[in-house]
């Protein structure tokens, strides 16, 4: 869509305040850079001229869906193919994690103040020299520092193959932190 898109009349006599840099051609709320780089979680939303926040959902962000990939990861000499998620929104944008819940808790970690190691999910950051490679050829490094139930810990290796009666505590999504 052209950048000459007319600025719509806001209700109640408010005027739209457009971003200063090149606006996104597909939404009214972000710059082109923010939507191209999926950087919504760091972007500020526009406001009406009286300071009222613009609260309509961003169509670009709404359309951004996580992308499933397969990661071939080697840890302590053992290689596994992991189903992973490439995140497209939120603070994990551009990073991989293993799946939610039990299926993704494929690592063992030592957790501060816990007697027993826990099974935790993994998070991977893109790195051209990373030790692990996904099915698109992108290379990744495993983030060894984890948080489990609010306690810091460190991944030490693979979790053993899962059994039906395995009752390990689950890592919740927000236990990757909010930073
Ligand atoms: Zn946009
Ligand atoms: Zn937007």
Task: Kindly give the parts of the chain with pLDDT less than 50.
Answer: 1-3, 19, 164-174, 177-179
- Give the pLDDT confidence score for residue 48 in this predicted structure: 86
Q: Domain locations in the chain?
A: 1-64, 67-176
DSSP letters, 104-156, are G--EEEEETT-SS-EEE--EEEE-TT-SEEETTS-EEEE--EEEETTEEEEEE
Q: Would you state the pLDDT for residue 21?
A: 84
What does the block give as tokens for 118? 């826990």
Q: Please give the distance, rounded to the nearest whole angstrom, from the Cα atom of residue 28 to the centre of ligand 1.
A: 7
Residue carrying the six token digits 């395995």: 166
Distance CA 111, CA 29 (A): 42
| Beta-strand pair 123-126/78-86 | unpaired
Q: How far is the CA of 58 from the centre of ligand 2 (A)?
A: 4
pLDDT tens, position by position, 2-46: 445 555 555 566 666 654 689 999 999 999 999 999 999 889 888
* Closest to 97 (Cα-Cα) out of 83, 108, 78: 83
Q: What is the pLDDT of residue 146?
A: 95
Residue-level pLDDT at 1: 43
């Amino acid at each position: 869509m052209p950048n000459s898109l007319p600025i719509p009349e806001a209700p109640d006599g408010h005027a739209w305040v457009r971003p200063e840099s090149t606006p996104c051609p597909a939404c009214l709320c972000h710059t082109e850079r923010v939507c191209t780089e999926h950087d919504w979680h760091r972007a500020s939303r526009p406001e009406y001229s009286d300071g009222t926040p613009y609260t309509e959902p961003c169509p670009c962000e709404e359309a951004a869906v996580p992308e499933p990939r397969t990661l071939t990861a080697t840890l302590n000499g053992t290689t596994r193919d992991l189903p992973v998620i490439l995140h497209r929104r939120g603070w994990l944008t551009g990073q991989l994690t293993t799946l939610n819940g039990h299926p993704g808790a494929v690592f063992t970690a030592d957790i501060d103040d816990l007697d027993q190691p826990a099974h935790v999910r993994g998070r991977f950051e893109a790195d051209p020299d990373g030790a692990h490679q996904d099915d698109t050829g992108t290379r990744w490094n495993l983030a060894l520092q984890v948080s489990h139930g609010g306690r810091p810990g460190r991944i030490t290796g693979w979790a053993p193959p899962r059994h039906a009666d395995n009752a390990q505590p689950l890592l919740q999504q927000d236990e990757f932190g909010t930073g």
